[in-house]
Amino acid sequence: MEYRRATAADEPFLRAMLWLAYNWRDQSVAADHWPDPDGPRRYVEGFGRDGDGGVIASGGGEPAGAAWYRLLPAADAGYGYVADDVPELTIGVAAAFRGQGIAAELVARLKATAAAEGFRALSLSVEPDNHALRIYERAGFEPAGRSAGSITLMATL
């Protein structure tokens, strides 16, 4: 597996990975069905702005997954909002690449990137029955609140 920094050119792939994250229970949902129409805009539109960072995983020349963060202000807070200076993490791994440790590696690399950029923490939102919860817990994320049936987690960097 190869890993590299995400760039603005990766926005379409990030959008695809965001769709997987949104629809983790049912990947057969039509690609244009967004439970929260602002979700794609909030998390990926114009990727590469100040406060954005990301890592892309590729296997055999094919994009396998992505993890990225974005600073979101309270006025446009995402599900995992903690504070204006704590970026929210989003992650998605294509079905063909799951179960290979890619998500854990993406999270570890993203935490290192965020720390190198001077951020104090990363946050995210996860539903309690999502199997990814274990990945986040092993990566040092701890409960920081609850919102609409989801758990907000934060990892200090």
What CA–CA distance (Å, rounded) separates 56 from 21?
15
Other C-beta atoms closer than 10 Å to the C-beta of 14 total 26
Which of the residues in the chain have pLDDT under 70? 24-40
- At 36 the pLDDT is 64
- At 75 the pLDDT is 93
Give the model confidence (pLDDT) of 58-85 as tens digits: 998 899 999 999 999 999 888 899 999 9
- At 148 the pLDDT is 80
HEC string for 25-79: CCCCCCCCCCCCCHHHHHHHCCCCCCCCEEEEEEECCEEEEEEEEECCCHHHCCC
- At 147 the pLDDT is 80
SS3 127: coil
Considering Cα of 102, then 56, then 32, then 21, what sign does the dihedral take?
positive
Per-domain residue ranges of the chain: 2-156
Dihedrals phi, psi of 100, to nearest 5 degrees: -115, 10
pTM of the model: 0.90
Could you tell me which CATH class the domain 2-156 is placed in?
Answer: alpha beta
